Amino acid sequence: MANLTQSRHYDYVPLIDREPFRLPDGARVAVMPYLNIEHFPADIPGTALVPGTQQFNPDPLNYGWRDYGNRVGLWRMTDLLDECNARATVCLNSEIIREYPRILEEGMARNWAWIGHGVNNAPANFISNIDEDREREILSAVLTAMEETIGRPTKGWLSPFLTHTDNTPRLLEEFGVEYLCDYTADDHPFRFNTPKNNLIAVPYTVELNDIPAFGNVGVSSEAFGDMIIDQFDVLYEEGATNARCMPICLHTFWVGQPNKFKHLARAFRYMAKHEGVWFTTGDDVNDWYRANFM
């Protein structure tokens, strides 16, 4: 038999070998809007619309484009979530707490879920090729700042740019985190192989994710809206017998732009018209899964 080289962090359990997944009130699809709310320090290169100026300091072209998200785009998206009676799962850089406290105020008033997303989105703080002590330092700083501000322990984590070490699942479990979104491998939650057997994956996506869609694949604004609707239609049909989770992963400076937002709004309003749809958060999916499947 050939040596297996699957991820050591979780077991292979194919969909056809599982009991059907059930959601509250018989819902077919759990629609999970993730908002990546991120801080990019002004003097460090970050995500760029025009990479040619990325190394300049200052870089007003790319910095201003990103900053539009926290100044304008987020609030456009917030209005849409309110309209659809949906709550966000915020992937939060902890420096947002210091730099943009108004965002925390409005999100907490809406009872959004908050998951750790590193210190900021500068490459120096990515969780890759670092030793365990440095990773512990990052995790502790982020989770402590979030708990002190939000007033409750942080249940979930998404690493910045999904960067990761082989220590990450174990360390998150040690810090009391209950779910990790870095592995986009399933439409259902699943367990990680951690010492306490108490860390699960809650679905996230790089497919319905505006940065890969616009920045890497080059889809149009209209096509991104169509992708969301098409994904929903398939999962809604499948969910009649085996419910599905449908994460939609959004960045305020990408899909918060008006030309893109038009089609995001079209897709959300389409989903909201259907019966049997649970607009929910990563925290709520985590809690439901633990109460019913663990």
Neighbours of 144 (CB within 10 A): 13
Put simply, whether the predicted model's pTM sits higher than 0.75 gets the answer yes
- Residue 43 clears pLDDT 70, i.e. is over it: yes
Read off the pLDDT of each residue in 149-155 and give the average, rounded to a whole number: 97
Q: What is the mean pLDDT of the chain?
A: 95
Residue-range domain boundaries for the chain: 23-293
The band of 117, judged by pLDDT with boundaries at 50, 70 and 90, is very high
pLDDT at 3: 62
- Residue 2 clears pLDDT 70, i.e. is over it: no
pLDDT at 125: 78
Read off the pLDDT of each residue in 121-145 and give the average, rounded to a whole number: 91
CATH assignment of 23-293, among 3.40.50.300, 2.40.50.360, 3.40.50.720, 3.20.20.370:
3.20.20.370
Read off the pLDDT of each residue in 239-263 and give the average, rounded to a whole number: 98
DSSP line for 88-135: -EEEE-THHHHH-HHHHHHHHHTT-EEEE--S-SSGGG-SSS--HHHH
The band of 45, judged by pLDDT with boundaries at 50, 70 and 90, is confident
- Residue 1 clears pLDDT 60, i.e. is over it: no
Least reliable range by pLDDT among 122-131, 161-170, 185-194: 122-131
